[in-house]
Amino acid sequence: SFNSLNHDMTLPEFKFIWYMEYSHRMWGRVVGLAYILPAAYFWRRGWLSRPLKGCVLALCGLVCFQGLLGWYMVKSGLEEKPDSYDIPRVSQYRLAAHLGSALVLYSASLWTGLSLLLPQHKFPETKQLLRLRQYAHGTTALIFLTALSGAFVAGLDAGLVYNSFPKMGEHWIPDDLLAFSPVLRNIFENPTTVQFDHRILGIASITAVTALYLFSRKIPLPRRTRMAVTSLLAVACMQ
């Protein structure tokens, strides 16, 4: 990076970046210990049921995999690319995988914790309730996909290509949307397409969350569930 881009970087500027990276790694290791040490203690004391043991093993394995994936991602930014004159950066594919793994780890941890802390509601499984649950799962998948597309935006610095909204420059659909060949490559490697996709997915996500909220208002739901849906809409609007 110094040879290709930051020739005039001073030692204090380098130290700032170095300590940011170092702190991130140390924090990641602390998070790993926060999973593994209590898990080992609770396991040894016999406080974990058989199903919970499986969850704990999966979470501990996932947190270790997350650290390995982070190393693999950073490694891609340090590799010499003799045929490339681009700015040194990590692979957008590995960045998306690292972010996706973190989201899965966080979601699984939260789900497991809430399942233990809050008793499950018992009420009739109506068609409307089943439809709401299916729609909530679909909305979750859409939000996850939107977040992953954000990793591609970050990895390619695609946010720097267009800075106007809702149009991209003078056009609703930019001219260089499918500039790369084959066409599928544009989705992952063309900064214009990556930003365009992220915008569309973001709009789709906020629309889906709003529709989920409106649909939930028509169904008699427990107070806790209603608060969760309302909070989801509030956070989506803020995002």
Angle of the 92-117 helix axis to the 127-155 helix axis, nearest 10? 150
Q: Which residues contact 34 (CB under 8 A, 6 or more apart)?
A: none
User: Which pLDDT tens digit goes with each residue over 163-199?
Assistant: 999 999 899 999 999 989 899 999 999 999 999 999 9
Encoded tokens for 182: 């084959």
Residue 6 backbone dihedrals phi, psi, to 5 degrees = -100, 65
pLDDT of residue 226: 94
Peptide bond into 119 cis (omega under 30): no
| pLDDT higher than 60, residue 148 | yes
Question: Which has more confidence, 77 or 22?
Answer: 22
Q: Tell me the mean pLDDT in the region 119-126.
A: 78
Lowest mean pLDDT among 24-33, 111-120, 189-198, 227-236: 111-120
Closest of 68, 64, 71 to residue 35, by C-alpha = 64
Return the minimum-mean-pLDDT range out of 13-22, 72-81, 145-154: 72-81
The per-residue pLDDT for 119 is: 79
Q: Which residue has tokens 């499950």?
A: 120
Q: H helices within the chain, ranges in order?
A: 11-44, 50-78, 92-117, 127-155, 185-189, 191-216, 223-238
**Residue (of 186, 192, 205) closest to 141 by Cα position:** 205
Q: Which two tokens stand for residue 22?
A: 């170092």
Contact 185, 136 (CB under 8 A): no
* Confidence band, pLDDT 50/70/90 cuts, at residue 122: confident
Reply yes or no on whether the pLDDT at 104 is more than 80.
Answer: yes
- When pLDDT is cut at 50, 70 and 90, the band that residue 151 belongs to is very high
Q: Structure tokens of 56? A: 């704990």
Please give the Cα distance from 227 to 239 (Å, whole number): 18
Q: Alpha helices of 156-239 — where are they, by DSSP H?
A: 185-189, 191-216, 223-238
